[in-house]
Chain A
């Protein structure tokens, strides 16, 4: 199945980003295709390279970057990002900023869109 994943919450404060990550890993292991990952609302904070969590904790933005390196399209909404001070300069590698049109294409092209957040 072709899946798209939407993440609405920021890192650490809320489990949404962790749940989405584990869901995506499990879906890939089961042979599903990830059409794209879209960060919206406070979700845009998940992919800043400025985060520096304690070494014994998971590094959320690096984890997304590694997933992006496997070829999955990871998109941060430009309107949500600009509002929150997230710009290209602070993004981890393998993630891009683009518009809500990308979310639209994911919703149209994916068989299922799975949302993580309140």
Chain B
């Protein structure tokens, strides 16, 4: 990848419902993916709830956006990570995580990668800019 391509990280730290930050933040990611930037997304703190399978917003009367995460790989948003401690603190495991696309060759479902906070810190240090939603 060219030196000129800027690395931009999104952190998702809020719960998916209750405020609009995560939903409108998702719109930013999908738009930014169309530009020449090296994008990564990290779900941490209550943000890990956004990746929980089987969300149902019918009774909230709000259009859910869980399914939209399924297009991440199609949009070339492939560097998607979950903070292990945030996930475990909330009683979630990898099995709870939704699928963000499928492998082009094998058609295997792709899930976000679970990583430790030290790895997130190392990635943050390499970013040109970080945006939080």
Residues of A participating in the B interface, judged by any CB pair closer than 8 Å: 6, 8, 40-41, 79-80, 99-101, 103-105, 107-108, 110, 112-113, 115, 118
B21 touches A41 (CB 8 A): yes
The answer for the CA separation of A99 and B130 in the assembled complex, in Å, is 19
A97 → chain B closest CB, angstroms: 15
The answer for the CA separation of A99 and B24 in the assembled complex, in Å, is 13
Residues of B participating in the A interface, judged by any CB pair closer than 8 Å: 6, 8, 14, 19-21, 24, 27-28, 31-32, 35-37, 128-132
Main secondary structure of the interface of B (DSSP, over half): mixed
The listed residue (A80, A100, A113) touching B129 by CB distance below 8 A is A113
A108 touches B21 (CB 8 A): no
A115 touches B37 (CB 8 A): no
Q: Within 8 Å CB of B28, what residues of A? A: 40, 100, 103
- Given A80-B24, A100-B32, A101-B31: A113 and B6 within 8 A (CB)? no
B24 touches A108 (CB 8 A): no
B35 touches A8 (CB 8 A): no
B21 touches A100 (CB 8 A): no
